[in-house]
């Protein structure tokens, strides 16, 4: 059974991924999300753009294989919440679907190659991914665990893992796409 906190996060994630706004996730929604993420890579950064697109494709295939109970090629909100808890966040799938996107995104966003995300790089990500930018500063402060003014790759991975895996309502990673008590 999904905890209330995870359910809240997965609901926010569903709303964000539902690019068509029709209350169902489709291949088109996932391809649009993949395009948003891949668009953050520099024009000549084919490796990271491709890595993000491929990871979104793996994620979509997991959703279909394990969550499309009625076989309609679409994922309802409840199917999404159930499959996220049971399959996508399981150890055998989480690395290849979710963390693969995070790693490629981190490499693509780190435009100066210093191995960390600055506040400007983080705000750029928020804006480009359609996340309300008014929360980016607060999110950045919460995810910058050591207070260095930068988010390291390790801090970013920790935030991603907390968002998807933690049932702790106070986990800093819950701020990954803004406050979880508001729609993404």
Domains and CATH numbers, the chain: 4-175 (1.10.238.10)
Tokens at residue 138, please? 């607060």
The pTM of this model reads 0.87
Report the pLDDT value the prediction gives residue 92, as an integer from 0 to 100: 87
Residue pLDDT, tens place only, 63-79: 999 999 999 999 999 99
Residue 52 exposed, middle or buried by CB count within 10 Å (0-12, 13-18, 19+): buried
Q: Which residue has the higher pLDDT, 72 or 131?
A: 72
Taking a C-beta distance cutoff of 8 angstroms, is the pair 150, 164 a contact? no
The closest of 37, 77, 68 to 55, measured between CA atoms, is 37
């Amino acid at each position: 059974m999904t905890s209330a906190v995870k359910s809240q996060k997965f609901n926010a994630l569903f709303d964000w991924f539902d690019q068509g706004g029709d209350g169902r996730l489709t291949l088109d929604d996932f391809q649009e999300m993949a395009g948003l993420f891949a668009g953050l890579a520099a024009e000549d950064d084919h490796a990271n753009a491709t890595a993000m697109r491929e990871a979104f494709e793996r994620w979509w295939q997991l959703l279909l294989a394990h969550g499309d109970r009625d076989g309609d090629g679409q994922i309802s909100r409840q199917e999404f919440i159930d499959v996220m808890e049971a399959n996508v966040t399981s150890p055998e799938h989480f690395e290849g679907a979710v963390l693969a996107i995070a790693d490629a995104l981190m490499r693509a966003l780190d435009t100066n190659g210093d191995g960390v995300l600055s506040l400007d790089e983080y705000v750029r990500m928020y804006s480009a991914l359609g996340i309300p930018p008014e929360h980016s500063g607060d999110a950045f402060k919460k995810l910058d665990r050591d207070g260095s003014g930068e988010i390291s790759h390790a801090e970013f991975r920790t935030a991603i893992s907390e968002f998807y895996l933690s049932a702790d309502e106070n986990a800093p990673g819950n701020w990954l796409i803004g406050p979880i008590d508001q729609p993404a």
